[in-house]
Structure 1
Amino acid sequence: MRVTAVTCVKNEGPFLLEWIAFNQLIGVTDHLFYSNDCSDGTDALLDALADRGLCQHLPNPAEGRNYQMEALKDARKQDIVINADWVWVADVDEFLNIHVGDHTIPALIDACGDPQAISLNFQFFANDGIETFKDAPVIGQFARSHNPDMWCGESAIEVKSLVRHDFPLQYYGAHRPFQKGKARPEWADGSGRKVPHKFLVAANPRRIRRFPAHGARAFATLNHYALRSLDSYLVKNDRGDVNRENRAFDDTYWRERNDPAWEDTSIQRYLPDLKAALVELKKDKEIKALHDASVKAHVAKRDELVGQPEYQDMQAQLRAASTLPPQEEAMLIELGLLEPAK
């Protein structure tokens, strides 16, 4: 079975080897990376990996700012996607945590009855007070999340999707495929059940990227490490090319994903094999040197940012931020169970 992972990256150098090695463990056979405007050596590392047949690396074709959708449009023309049995569209901070069989994509597909698409609900993993970037597997560092059935007061949680080669595809979306016309493909959730009808037909614009997570994760969950360490989050914000001059930093994204109410270490079942795979990859001296250079660049960018007053303010604001999501905090205040912050 050929499974191709498609992703877009910018300055993700320190995290590439873990994501590729993890995906290989769960059955991904091919990787297609699109990169743009990298300054940490991400592109050089991807080129070296491509030279060794470990991925295909292309410049992002987007001429405007719609990087992901332009890349997904281009991906349909690439043999690595055309010849795949399944396509997995995901980001480098997303890890497919499979709970059935031998914990691989083929086992997930078999458990779901081999449908034409499988959509897996996110579980957002909190920063949980981890400040310092560490060059070690992300899946081993962060083990707390929101209640997997509820996120920010919502039972419907976003998904990412595996897509079979015969899906009646109109186009790939970042979270789900969209089918042609009135086609009704066989489409399962992470428990092998049919996805909700409104999700299937995208009848409600607010629900085209999500559906209720309760009962939908028996076979797999999508672990999303959107925050990582505080160091890495500062670097991520710089990467976003946002002008914050003369306005306050909005910590909503951080607070919505930094709820540590739930402990879940299930993905750490992969850690021994992942660590061994990373050792093998780094036996290649060039690959190791390029990885180490990206780590050094990541730390140097952190050091540069924390020397700037606006990032010092951001760092302090995130350290002090409530670990209650804004929606949950507002509800508790309204019920008189929590005093408003002064």
Structure 2
Amino acid sequence: MDINLIKRKLLKYWIGVYYYNNELILCLKRSCRKSSNLLLLLLSPYILMKAGLYAIYEGVWGKYAIARKITKERASAYRHEIAMVSISKNEAPYIKEWIEFHKLVGFTKFYFYDNESEDNTVDILKPYIDSGLVEYTLIKGKGRQLDAYNDAIAKHKDECRWMAFLDMDEYLMPTKPFEKIYNVVSELVSKAGKGAAGIGVNWCIYGSAHLEKKPKGLIMENFIYRSKSGSETHWGNFHIKTICNPRLVKKYISPHYPIYKLGGYSINDSDGKRLWGWFCHDVKWQNLRINHYYCKSKEQYIQKISRGFGDRVGEYDMKQFNDYDLNDVKDESMLVYADKMKNK
């Protein structure tokens, strides 16, 4: 037998074991760093048994139950076809561009969680709040990103067909300019397997364009150099963010993906294959991509360091800037939106 085939099958098996236990594994890895490996070894009989039982349930019943729910919902009307959930701290300069761009690609509701901003975030948001486009929530404390995501699902899951979960430096772009994201998602999910309940969209990391200082103008105009695509892509582009059916989500345990009710899962945006976690190695950016303006200029990145991580206590550092400052390819695909944005 082909040894590479055996390796791929074993890898798929262990990814499945991890997926069905990832809430436990992530908790141990983050809270018991020094002893986590020993604890996982001691818990391995439970971990393997749980994975096996969950896999059997999904195959026998779960995916069919999810498929029935999905079929029933297709005929249902929702107040919003797609809504955005985000948490932000001291990012006022970027809010307007981020909201206005996502309006152009079909978002009609934003659930905005303000993590104790000390800038003029509320002033920038006020017209959007008054119009009903933005629902504003103040959320206090460090590392509250997952709390915000789960709160949005609990409170608003019946208001929208799809929910996307993005940071303020992430722009969800359709491959065809101005195509509505909800149309793309609905079409791709309808073609996929019985349990398809969302889409994982790969990052497309943009670099600093070698800028030291914050430039004037739009992010999409100033930062037009990105990482390579295809087999030469940077490992960071394996990361995904998720657009999901919120009624089929059990819980968000990572900024990148949720745990679905048993039987549900995310697919990639190119061929509809199941995703098992926070990553997708098949980076094609065929229908959708997330332009991730991780660095911006060096000056802006230093400001980002002061905000800290969103999902846990911790900080960015300059090593991450150097890792993600990718300026391999000139890409002006976002400029088609720039003229529209300037009139806002």
Please tell me the residue identity of whatever aligns with 1:214.
V
Pairwise CA RMSD? 2.4
Cα distance, 1:4–1:250 mapped onto 2, change above 3 Å? closer
Cα distance change on mapping 1:152 and 1:270 into 2, 3 Å:
closer
1:212 alignment partner, SS class: coil
CA apart distance, 1:56: 0.7
Q: SS where residue 154 of structure 2 aligns?
A: coil
Residue ranges of structure 1 left out of the alignment (5+ in a row): 200-207, 242-248, 279-342
Deviation at 1:27, TM superposition (A): 0.3
* 1:48 to partner: Cα distance: 4.3
Rounded Cα–Cα distance in structure 2 between residues aligned with 1:151 and 1:56: 40
Q: 1:213 aligns with which of 282, 298, 302?
A: 282
Q: Secondary structure of 1:118's match?
A: strand
Answering whether residue 158 of structure 2 is matched by residue 77 of structure 1, we say no
Counterpart among 68, 72, 89 of residue 145 in structure 2: 68
Post-superposition offset of 1:123: 0.9
Match of 1:27 among 83, 86, 106: 106
Distance verdict in 2 for CA 1:12–1:150, change over 3 Å: farther
Q: 2: CA distance between counterparts of 1:72 and 1:270?
A: 28
- Quote the Cα distance in structure 2 between the aligned partners of 1:273 and 1:107: 21
C-alpha change, 1:74 and 1:237, in structure 2 (3 Å) is same
What secondary structure does 1:183 align onto? coil
> Secondary structure of the equivalent of 1:76?
helix
Matched, 1:8 2:100: no
Query: Equivalent residues in 2 for 1:286-305 (5 A)?
Result: none
- Matched residue, 2:319: 252
Give the superposition deviation at 1:67: 0.9
Are the equivalent residues in 2 in contact too, given 1:146–1:262 (CA < 8 A)?
A: yes
Q: Quote the offset at 1:145 in angstroms.
A: 1.5
Q: 4+ runs of 1 displaced by more than 6 Å?
A: none
Change (3 A) 1:128 1:7: same
| Contact 1:90-1:160 at 8 Å conserved across structures | yes
Q: What's the counterpart of residue 175 of structure 1? A: 256
Does the C-alpha gap of structure 1 residues 107 and 27 become closer, same or farther in structure 2, counting only changes over 3 Å?
Answer: same
Identity of counterpart residues, as a percentage? 22
Amino acid at match of 1:162: I
State whether residues 155 and 213 of structure 1, in contact with CA within 8 Å, keep that contact through their aligned partners in structure 2: no
Equivalent-residue separation in structure 2 for 1:225 and 1:156 (angstroms)? 12
Name 2:204's counterpart in structure 1: 123
- Offset of residue 156 of structure 1: 6.6
Answer whether contact 1:116 1:166 (CA < 8 A) is retained: no
| Separation in 2, partners of 1:174, 1:270 | 27
Distance, in Å, in 2 between the alignment partners of 1:76 and 1:155 is 27
Aligned to 1:144: 225
1:3 CA drift (Å): 1.1
Q: What are the Cα deviations for residues 181-233 of structure 1, in whole angstroms up to 9, with x where unaligned? A: x4144x3312242234xx1xxxxxxxx21111333x21111100011122211
Give the superposition deviation at 1:74.
Answer: 1.4
Partners of 2:224 and 2:143 lie apart in 1 by 32
Q: In structure 2, the residue corresponding to 1:109 is in which secondary structure?
A: helix
Correspondence 1:206-245 to 2 at 5 A = 208-215=277-284, 217-240=285-308
- Quote how far apart the aligned CAs of 1:58 are: 0.5
Choose between structure 1 and 2: higher helix proportion: 2
Give the TM-score of the pair, scaled to structure 1: 0.67
Match for 1:145: what amino acid? R
Contact 1:159 1:175 in 2 (8 A): yes
**Deviations 1:166-192 (CA, angstroms, capped at 9, x unpaired):** 53x111342112112x4144x331224
Unmatched 5+ residue regions in structure 2? 1-79, 191-195, 310-315
Determine whether 1:109 maps to 2:176. Answer: no
| 1:111 CA displacement | 4.5
The TM-score with structure 2 as length reference comes to 0.67
